[in-house]
Amino acid sequence: MRIATWNVNSVTVRIDRLLAWLERSGTDVLCLQELKCEAAAFPADRLRDAGYEAAVHADGRWNGVAVLSRVGLADTESGLRAGPEFDGRAEPRAVAATCGGVRVWSVYVPNGREVGHPHFAYKLRWLQALRETVTADAAGERPFAVLGDFNVAPADEDVYDLAAFEGATHVTDEERAALAALRDTGLSDVVPRPLKYDKPFTYWDYRQLCFPKNRGMRIDLVYGNRAFAAAVTDAYVDREERKGKGASDHAPVVVDLDVG
């Protein structure tokens, strides 16, 4: 089974690229983030024609998540259990489904904006709620993973220049401690470093030629439990999909599993 995660940065804008990538990559299950559309506007019909069912959690703003599957879609769940609100609303940042015997959560962790901003405190509360939501599945015997845009670089080598992020979000001790607490539920990072190049970044800003200069970050992650990690046969960042006109600013992260 091939499972991937991709912050597509508007599924309606990038639907043609998405469909082409699904066909080219042979992906069975895809976790999407930053849909930027209402649930009613999600291109479910075009994806269904391509063989994919979809579990969608979206409200038309800059958030929105989905799980696409061509190997079955069951036991869907939208939103974190006891998840926090921001500005009086629960944002659509998490959706789960069981696909071909593998349980996955697609997550889009809040950005945090600035250290000390209310959104930063919200980000930490959200990560704690994620930890509480997935604890039981993480400790179980079924292959299970949390995939998505975590908006946190787990280690110093996961940014192109640590000095460029001094005092900024994504690299703080608090955010990394929250990721460590999530891993402590029985999850591990199943995408190894290095991969096929020295710095396997997953995100590059559109501005200042960040992609050609490889000024990126590794913030799109796959955290699997013991059963999931044991089934992994390969993992990679599809950096080629970040190239060209109309690309998302994130690249897909792909994991191959031998699940029988």
Positions marked active-site: 108, 149, 250
Does 173 show up as a binding residue in the annotation?
no
Contact status, residue 202 vs residue 168, Cβ threshold 8 Å: no
Does 63 show up as a binding residue in the annotation?
no
Show the tokens assigned to 72. Answer: 């079955």
Instruction: Using the Cα atoms of residue 109, residue 230, residue 232 and residue 22 in order, give the sign of their dihedral.
Output: negative
Does 137 show up as a binding residue in the annotation?
no
Does 250 show up as a binding residue in the annotation?
yes
Contact status, residue 200 vs residue 191, Cβ threshold 8 Å: yes
Does 9 show up as a binding residue in the annotation?
no
Residues in binding site: 7, 34, 149, 151, 249-250
Residues in binding site for Mg(2+): 7, 34, 149, 151, 249-250
